Chains A and B, each alone.
Chain A
Amino acid sequence: MTDLTRSSAAQLAQWIATGQVSSVEVVQAHFDRIAQVDQAIHAFLSLDYDRAMATAARVDAKRATGEVLGPLAGVPVAVKDAFTYEGLPTTCGSKMLEGWMPPYTSTVVRRLIDADMVILGKTNMDEFAMGSSTENSYFGPTHNPWALDRIPGGSGGGSSAALAAFEAPLTIGSDTGGSIRQPAAVTGTVGVKPTYGGCSRYGLVATASSLDQPGPCARTVMDAAMLHEVICGYDPRDSTSVNAPVPPVVAGARRADITGMRVGVVKELGGPGYAPAVERRFAQAVDVLTGLGADVVEVSCPHFQYALPAYYLIMPSEVSSNLARFDAMRYGLRVGDDGKNSAEQVMRLSRGSGFGAEVKRRIILGTYALSSGYYDAYYGSAQKVRTLITEDFTAGFESVDVMISPSTPTTAFRLGERVDDPMAMYQADLATIPSNLAGNTAASFPIGLSDEDGLPVGLQVMAPPMCDDRLYQVGAAFEAAMEGSWGGPLLNQIKETAR
């Protein structure tokens, strides 16, 4: 019998809809797979077996009565542990929220439920989404299924690894500086950051509110598009939600034709800091796009070199403000409440004990950037750079339909390699950060393996705000062109994962 965990979500949905397999069988197969491999991968922080099986049975019963179901009904999905879902803990990978049961459900999860999808559990992440490796999770790192001694990316490394290890066909991520795209790139999976405001942040624990954006993660471009249409769209509960129709991303993925499309290679997202093997693979991808009829030119975005510095001022500043809510008074960890310590002392002790090193570093950095006397030089200047980066995008998109770059400067690095060197860790998001600062949409698609270490390389595609469908058009065209030479999805070439 076909291994259900190796199938695409679109295929599973079709089989479930036509009764060839039941949702119960599909969901059980994924829990079996998780039981088999997750000890080695550690993609999951919690599992929701009983509720998932009950949901699957309900979907099967609905189908049996002839009810018309949604396009992904009965298909399993896993959710990054930054989204609230009543009945499961939401930890954000932090000791601060260990065991915290949220009293409400996020809009993204609500939409998965309304679409009759089956939630398997919650996935591992860097603490409060700060990191590029999942090594900052209080609950221990996730391992890359391509090579267990390598990082799966971060902050959403649990969501990317769960896909690459065939533990879930679809997962949800959130992208503040690359936390969907960088993990996708280093695990050979697909990750999309929708246009800022395209997907509701209601119930996503805030990291940096002006940058955070939930999005779909999948193994195929069409699967990501189908999930995108389920989770995106206007939500009155998010005051930054865009009140406009969701871009036609499934149609974009189906079209998969880029004849005549104007594609701009961003000159500044390459060169020093980028591994030669990544650049070689990227150059081959550019050739493939040209071969598919795209009109590829070079574009210059001169201020992108200031994106990383601006990001590491804006992001920590917002973090220092957002994480002030963890004050040990109403929820979360409380330490030192001995009847003698004041509320302020308890707050200090709790935050000192509950936050990990990277979170403390960013809160203190943000506190500095916002402090009197430094505000203009740091935070104020960074906000001006944000304007300049947005203007670079606007100018570039006057002459091209999409821009492209390598998604990451290197392939997956080794666990432990960068933990003591914050600046080296931050470089992992060199190419992904500009789109968070400007708010446009961007994705990472697998383009093959490095000729040096045999690990996956990602292609980043960036499109103007609310033109998310263009990403899928490029990704699907590329995927269709490559599957022949790869002999199926790139992920079939994985060797290391325990089978």
Chain B
Amino acid sequence: MALTNADVARLADLARIEVTNDELTVLAGQLDVILDAVAAVSQVASADVAPTSHALALTNVFRDDVVEPSLTPREALAMAPAVEDERFRVPRILEEEA
């Protein structure tokens, strides 16, 4: 199946990545080739095979609930793009009202 530029634009949108039209065209072609190659997995993935999500069969690994030193606000904020009043300053999260 062939991915259109619009398909790739929708995926990039889901992934929150701004891409140019030129990037879309290149990506659509490359993703087609890759998807063709990886589709081979369906040849052997029959219903009776159990999926593996992880090499280790570990579930719910717990440790004791012990208080340990953690980052100070100053350390946590040291690499923030923008800071205000000891907090991360972020752009507005709501769309502007019409």
Contacts and interface: CB of A to CB of B under 8 A. Distances in A.
Nearest to B56: A197
Nearest to B13: A348
Contacts of A357: 23, 26
Contact of B38 (A312, A438, A465): A312
A104 B65 CA distance: 20
A242 B55 CA distance: 11
Given A348-B17, A352-B18, A382-B41, A240 B31 contact: no
Contacts of B98: none
Contacts of A368: 11, 31, 35
A100 B19 contact: no
Interface string B16-53: 11110001001100110111011111111110011111
Given A312-B38, A378-B38, A423 B56 contact: no
Nearest to A383: B51
Given A242-B56, A385-B45, A364 B15 contact: yes
B79 A422 contact: no
Interface residues of A, number: 73
A52 B49 CA distance: 52
For the complex, would chain B's binding face be called helix, strand, loop or mixed by DSSP majority?
A: loop
Nearest to A102: B79
A7 B12 CA distance: 50
Contact of A365 (B17, B31, B54, B79): B31
Contacts of A242: 56
Contact of A210 (B18, B27, B33, B53): B53
A240 B56 CA distance: 7
Contacts of A327: 16
Contacts of B12: 360, 364
Contacts of B27: 360-361, 364
Contacts of A440: 55
A150 B11 CA distance: 35
A439 interface: yes
A188 to B, nearest CB: 29
**3 closest A-B pairs by CB:** A439-B55, A352-B18, A383-B51
Given A353-B18, A439-B54, 8 more contacts: A101-B79, A236-B63, A239-B61, A310-B38, A364-B15, A378-B38, A383-B53, A387-B52
Interface of A: 100-101, 103-104, 196-197, 210, 236, 239-240, 242, 303, 305-306, 308-310, 312-313, 320, 324, 327-334, 337, 339, 341-349, 351-353, 355, 357, 360-361, 363-365, 367-368, 371, 377-378, 380-388, 390, 422-423, 426, 437-440, 465
